[in-house]
Structure 1
Amino acid sequence: MAQAPRPFLGLAAGIAAGLVASAAMAAFQSQAAKLLPDEGGEDPATVKAADAASKAVIGDPVPEPYREPAGQAVHYIVGAVLGGIYGVVAEYRPEARSGFGSAYGIATSALLDEGAVPAAGLGSAPQDTSLPFHAYGAASHLVYGWVLEGVRRLLAGKR
């Protein structure tokens, strides 16, 4: 007999897992970025998103001493939101957990890095991004997906 979905537990477990997965992703990125060629000192998309939010609210970009922490806040907020969505979806659709979170990780990479970020003007278009940076983004999101599912499963159960 199938277990009834638990959307509130899924949401809470997903948010918590999303925060942990975001930390794991950031740790992976800090090491993996050392292997990439330097392609200019452009701000990360998260910092650009923080600037856009700051300009919308107060009319100015994030002041220099707060740029990196503001970008990190965007990273963790997005990770928690995506984790919450995953946690709820995983309660209703077991296939969302395919590949121990790999499918969701790759989906977030495609939707964010390849779609939303360029569309919002926060990063380069996919065709203008080098292959190593595509691989870096996909690998980063795979780490996110794996840790997301692992922590979600610890908190909400295997199902």
Structure 2
Amino acid sequence: MSKGPRPFVGLFVGIAAGLVASAAMAAFQVQAQKLLPEDDGDPATLKAADAASEAVIGDPVPEPYREPAGQAVHYIAGAVIGGIYGVLTEYKPEASAGFGSAYGVATAALFDEAAVPALGLGSAPSETPLATHAYGAASHLVYGWVLEGVRALVAGRR
């Protein structure tokens, strides 16, 4: 007998899986960045933290808190995106296609290629080197695989 959708289970498992997947993505990025040319610019997560700080206190994130603030944005975004995935897979199991690959690629397209440039947190896709696009896509694939792995382990395959 097939169980119906469990949106609250999906949400909470998705959030937890999103946090684990964010950690895996960060670990992958530390290693992958060694293969890319040095980039002196701030990552989009830190730019987003600065924008939030400026909206609240009128100044960017103070220097001692910059790195943790960028990481907080990374993990909060990962948890939110994971929660959405968890609920989505409860209603549409096919959202886990390719063991999370489709969702990972979709998040890369939505965030790296569309939202980040649109919000002024990064360069336009046409101004971004191909290696940077590949790095972003690979990072989000890792996120998608780990997200689905943890979600399926905890909540079960749908």
Tell me which interval the TM-score lies in, with the shorter structure as reference length: over 0.9
Question: What is the aligned partner in structure 2 of residue 23 from structure 1?
Answer: 23
Task: Please tell me the residue identity of whatever aligns with 1:17.
Answer: A
Question: What is the aligned partner in structure 2 of residue 74 from structure 1?
Answer: 73
Aligned counterparts, 1:19-98, within 5 A: 19-39=19-39, 41-98=40-97
Task: Please tell me the residue identity of whatever aligns with 1:85.
Answer: I
In 1, Cα distance between the equivalents of 2:118 and 2:63?
25
Question: What is the aligned partner in structure 2 of residue 150 from structure 1?
Answer: 149
In 2, Cα distance between the equivalents of 1:26 and 1:79?
11
TM-score normalised to the size of structure 2?
Answer: 0.98
Unaligned runs of 5+ in 2: none
In 2, Cα distance between the equivalents of 1:22 and 1:46?
12
In 2, Cα distance between the equivalents of 1:141 and 1:14?
16
In 2, Cα distance between the equivalents of 1:135 and 1:38?
16
Deviation at 1:2, TM superposition (A): 3.3
Deviation at 1:82, TM superposition (A): 0.1
For residues 25-59 of structure 1, the C-alpha deviation after alignment (integer angstroms, 9 at most, x for no partner) is 000000000000124x1000000000000000111
Task: Please tell me the residue identity of whatever aligns with 1:101.
Answer: G
Aligned counterparts, 1:99-118, within 5 A: 99-118=98-117
Runs (4 or more) in structure 1 with deviation over 3 Å come to none
Deviation at 1:136, TM superposition (A): 0.2
Question: What is the aligned partner in structure 1 of residue 2 from structure 2?
Answer: 2
Q: Give the secondary-structure state (helix, strand or coil) at the position aligned to 1:104.
A: helix
Question: What is the aligned partner in structure 2 of residue 125 from structure 1?
Answer: 124
TM-score normalised to the size of structure 1?
Answer: 0.98
In 1, Cα distance between the equivalents of 2:13 and 2:4?
16
Deviation at 1:78, TM superposition (A): 0.1
In 1, Cα distance between the equivalents of 2:49 and 2:152?
31
Unaligned runs of 5+ in 1: none
Q: How many residue pairs get matched?
A: 158
In 2, Cα distance between the equivalents of 1:57 and 1:63?
13
Instruction: Name the % identity.
Output: 78
